[in-house]
A and B are shown apart, each in its own frame.
Chain A
Amino acid sequence: MRTMEDIASYLREYDGRTLKLMEVCGSHTAAISKFGIRGMLSPKIRLVSGPGCPVCVTPSAYIDRLLELAKEKDTCVVTFGDMLRVPGSRGSLSAARGEGASVEMVYSPLDTLKLAAENSGITYVFAAVGFETTAPVYTLLLEEAIRGGFTNIRLLTALKTMPQAIRNLMQEGGEIDGFLAPGHVCAVIGSDAFLPLAKEFQIPFAVSGFGDRELLLAIYGLVRMAKEREAAVKNFYPSVVTPQGNLIAKKKLETYFMPCDAVWRGMGNIPLSGLLLKDAYKRYDAGSASLIEDKKLNHGCRCDKILTGKLMPQECPLFGRSCTPGSPQGACMVSYEGSCYQNYLSDGGNA
């Protein structure tokens, strides 16, 4: 039997072929920095951050549309806290709120119901951003809105699904030797959802939780699989993740949403990598389908290369100079879960 000490020493002393492993979940990115894991690994194990922070991959055209809505008469944008600071091409929701735009921050989409009931003359547009993890919560809001006969609740969706993004990344020449699969996404869609990708690209996936030991164990498992070039999905988060996932949540997603093409900030349009409300629920949509155009990146910004693991944050010419958490130029510096934000905070964990 191996102890955590054995695992830590294996990862520290690993001397096989150089492995580039990608974590595709923003919470993993944050947790890896938080626990100082990067500095515990052999130089031959490189961890890179993928496009798994929902805030980071939301295109600026979407933010611009939210800003327009927030400034419209009798319209209020409802959002989670971390969307407030994301820069669009004409500023952020937070800045617009300071100038009088109507923006409400909530902790749950269901809080929208209370707002909408109290102010029937105002249309509340929820900024529905996220992956398969967050999307089911929006279906609960829709269910309640329908049940309560609300006519003043809308969603502006920028929902993304993970497997297609990983496929695209590999098709575009991403030289990744293994993926740390997102634990929360897998809790909804099931670990089996990554099996076709493992087979197609002959590459291992390790499903990981978010604790220090869970992450270390999953990285260990992934290194062992990558070393042996084992094209499989292993579940290192069995307390939460099953092969099939959460059947109720999946059913709700199927009921309300359909796959659509989606623009990922820094990566462009990826076919069928998003979710859009089905035609039957179009009356609850605030025009999400029209937001496929993304504005150009800021001059010098390398978010596109960083989100796909081709560059490390420190290799971007803006990193730590004009681009800091206080004044983010690119998407990866905006959110706590962005790879640039975390690298800025922790020096890459190589202290």
Chain B
Amino acid sequence: MRPMHPRRGLTTKMSVMIATSVRLSRMSGSPQPAAAARDIRVVDIVEQAFSSGSEDGLRRAFEAHGSLVHTMCARAHPALAADLTQEVFLAAWRAHERFDPEKGPLAAWLVGIAKNKIVDSYRKSGRQVPTISDMDGSLLPSIPQTGSAVDQLGNRLLVTEALSSLGDRPRRIVELAFYEDLTHEQIAERTNVPLGTVKSDIRRGLMRLRRYLEQRDD
């Protein structure tokens, strides 16, 4: 631990950084997965607080996943995004006893609830569930696969959550395998990582993706 003495004479750079730290209006987040999460235990604290119904469980869940849920609602149903986000967290909180961290992450459980709330909202108003708007309001190309556009959006957001929860090296290796179609041997050669590590990183990456995408609520 460093000694507790005031430090004087910060650089101009630091001053500028402080000045720019004023909260900006929304659209936060980085275009690429940012620094990796490496402390799963801390995430579990949020899930445990939530599932046990402890007093700050709702706050912790909202702090950790409010942006994910609101992003999903804002992209799927911009006009009702705030109401839907609110409904998702209240429905989740009322049902907190049914959330089981063993079956999957809280983020995936909340996205599942959000998907149902969004679709219900369109059905109640007699409107067809639309294609999904891009961040700038333009429409994404229609998605031909089975499953609704809302499902697809939820799955893509959960992929970003899953990949962002991997460490830098495994995420890079998974990206090389998926985006660039490299073989395990080619990845090992390019990254200078032992072949066995490459294989285990990819295996763990697939497990992490399935954990986020295949959660059951039963």
Q: Do A and B come from one complex?
A: no
A interface, CB within 8 angstroms of B: none
- Give the interface of B toward A (CB within 8 A): none
